[in-house]
Amino acid sequence: MAEPRPQVALIDYGAGNLRSAARALIAAGADVITTADPAAIAAAQRIVLPGVGAFAQCITALRASGVEPALTEAVQERGVPFLGICVGMQLLASEGHEHGIHKGLGWLPGVVTRLEPADPALKVPHMGWNRVEPRAGAGITAGDAYFVHSYHFTPADAADVLATTDHGGTIAAVVRRGSITGVQFHPEKSQAWGLSFLKNWLNS
């Protein structure tokens, strides 16, 4: 008998690339419900929070959607596995410094600040393919992923960084604390390596 597919709630708060994220999760082996329904979030086995745009816009939209209490209860209180993608990862921070200073979810202490590459020839936003290098024992295979971002997340505790990339300086590419994972890249745009990453997350 085939193993049951994990039930994933993909959070729809008007600030994510939902269709491509859903397709990638399904291809990786999940059953996906795209939702802003607190009851569906409470019932999900796993939760994915996408994010496209600015930190201020995304955290405002998330709070306006009314799902934050359900997310906090599921992830913080019950330990439901969570994956934040791009700005969805940045929202984990204590605060973001994009278009002013804005309070994040605060689930993973740290700050989101503008990229400032040491090499002035490197452009911002950081856009395109770049190498993801995991630290030893992270359980992640090195590979090339697709990035699109002008800001980056620096966790307060370096132990929360599982993998990095380089764009005129070291950038957190994968963060994790307990059941909470965040990725700065877009796994849904990262072809075979991104699909492999999602499969590993679904099976972890």
| Phi, psi angle pair for 10, to nearest 5° | -95, 115
Over residues 146-173, the mean pLDDT reads 97
Other CB atoms within 10 Å distance of the CB of residue 39: 9
Q: Identify the band that residue 2 occupies on the pLDDT scale cut at 50, 70 and 90.
A: low
Instruction: Determine the pLDDT at residue 16.
Output: 78
Residues 80-119: pLDDT tens digits?
Answer: 999 999 999 999 999 999 989 999 999 999 999 999 999 9
Query: Does residue 1 surpass a pLDDT of 60?
Result: no
116 carries an active-site annotation: no
Q: How deeply is 158 buried, as exposed, middle or buried, from its count of CB atoms within 10 A (0-12, 13-18, 19+)?
A: exposed
pLDDT tens track for 10-63: 999 988 789 999 999 999 999 999 999 999 999 999 999 999 989 999 999 999
Q: What pLDDT is attached to residue 84?
A: 98
Angle between helices 191-203 and 18-28 (to 10 degrees): 70
Rg (CA), the chain: 16
C-beta separation of 182 from 174 below 8 A: yes
Residue 197 has pLDDT above 80, yes or no: yes
Q: 86, 126, 149, 167: which one is catalytic?
A: 86
User: Taking a C-beta distance cutoff of 8 angstroms, is the pair 36, 12 a contact?
Assistant: yes
Nearest-angstrom CA–CA distance, 32 and 34 = 6
Q: Do 41 and 9 touch, CB atoms closer than 8 A?
A: yes
Average pLDDT, the chain: 95
Helix (H, G, I), strand (E, B) or coil at 89: helix
Per residue, the 3-state secondary structure of 143-191, as one string, reads EEEEEEECEEEEECCHHHEEEEEECCCEEEEEEEECCEEEECCCHHHCH
Q: Mean per-residue pLDDT for 175-182?
A: 97
User: For residues 102 and 95, is the Cβ–Cβ distance under 8 A?
Assistant: yes
Q: Which of 102, 149, 167, 186 is catalytic?
A: 186
∠ CA 179-67-107, nearest 5°, is 35
pLDDT of the residue at 17 = 81
pLDDT at 14: 87
Q: What is the mean pLDDT of residues 129-148?
A: 96
97 noted as active-site residue: no
Specify the pTM: 0.96
Residue 189 has pLDDT above 80, yes or no: yes
Q: Is 95 a catalytic residue?
A: no
Question: How far apart, in Å, are the Cα atoms of 17 and each of 10, 11, 21, 123, 188?
Answer: 10, 10, 6, 23, 9
* Measured CA distances, 137 to 25, 158, 159 (Å): 25, 15, 12
What are the start-end ranges of the E strands in 36-149? Answer: 46-49, 82-85, 95-96, 102-103, 110-114, 126-134, 143-149
